[in-house]
Amino acid sequence: MSKKYWLVKSEPDVYSIDDLAKEKDKTTYWDGVRNYQARNFIRDEMKLGDAVLFYHSNSDPTAVVGVCEVVKEAYPDFTAFDPNDPHYDPKSKKDNPAWMMVGIKLVKKFKTPVTLEEIKNNPKLNNMRLVQRGNRLSVFPVEKNEFDEILKMGSK
C-alpha cells in the first residue's frame, strides 16, 4: 500500500505543535475529531508511516507549522467515553465506538510557518482542499505534490 498524505488542524491554544514537541517521544494521540467524514479518513485510510501536515487553525496567522508521521493506526477515541472531557459523546459506546483517533509523531517543526495566505497565493496549490470553499474538516487527505510544495515552502 502506498504512502498517503494528510493535513490535521488544531487550534494552538488547545494543542499546538510546541505542545507536541514537549511530549515524551514527541508522540501523541489525535483525539476529539467529531465529524463523520474526518472520522472515516482516520478509521479507514490513515496508515502507519503516512505523512501529516500539522496546521494551526483559528490563529494569527493560520498556517502549516510542521510535519508529523502516523505511528499508530485508528483506535477508539477514549475521550468520547469520559463525561468530564470536552469531547464526551454519550452516544458513543465502548463496545461500538463512534469516534476514532490515531497516534502521530513530530518529524519536524517548520522554521517559518507556511501561512494560509501563502498557500492561497501559490498556483501549485489551487486545488488543495484547504483552500476550497466550505472545507472545514479537521482531518483530510493531501495530494503528494501539495505536500511536497508545502514542505518546500516550509524549508525556506
pLDDT for position 134: 83
Residue 136, pLDDT above cutoff 90: no
Report the percentage of the chain scoring pLDDT > 70: 99
DSSP the chain: ----EEEEEE-TTTS-HHHHHHSGGGEEEE-----HHHHHIIIII--TT-EEEEEE-SSSS-EEEEEEEEEEEEEE-GGGG-TTSTT--TT-BTTB-S-EEEEEEEEEEEEEEEEHHHHHT-GGGTT-GGGSTT---SEEEE-HHHHHHHHHHHT-
If pLDDT is split at 50, 70 and 90, which confidence band does 133 have?
Answer: confident
On average, the pLDDT of the chain sits at 96
- Residue 21 phi/psi, 5-degree rounding, is -65, -25
Residue 81, in any domain of the structure: yes
For 83-107, the pLDDT digits (tens) are 999 999 999 999 999 999 999 999 9
pLDDT for position 135: 82
Task: Tell me the mean pLDDT in the region 104-115.
Answer: 96
Task: Tell me the mean pLDDT in the region 31-46.
Answer: 96
pLDDT for position 91: 93
pLDDT for position 55: 98
Residue 18, in any domain of the structure: yes
Report the percentage of the chain scoring pLDDT > 90: 96
Residue 148, in any domain of the structure: no
Residue 66, in any domain of the structure: yes
What's the predicted TM-score (pTM) here? 0.95
Judge whether 77 and 31 are in contact, CB under 8 Å.
yes
Judge whether 63 and 140 are in contact, CB under 8 Å.
no
Residue 153, in any domain of the structure: no
pLDDT for position 152: 96
Task: Supply the CATH number for residue 14's domain.
Answer: 3.10.590.10
Residue 150, in any domain of the structure: no
Count of structural domains within the chain: 1
Judge whether 131 and 62 are in contact, CB under 8 Å.
no
Residue 151, in any domain of the structure: no
Whole domain around residue 49: which residue ranges? 5-142
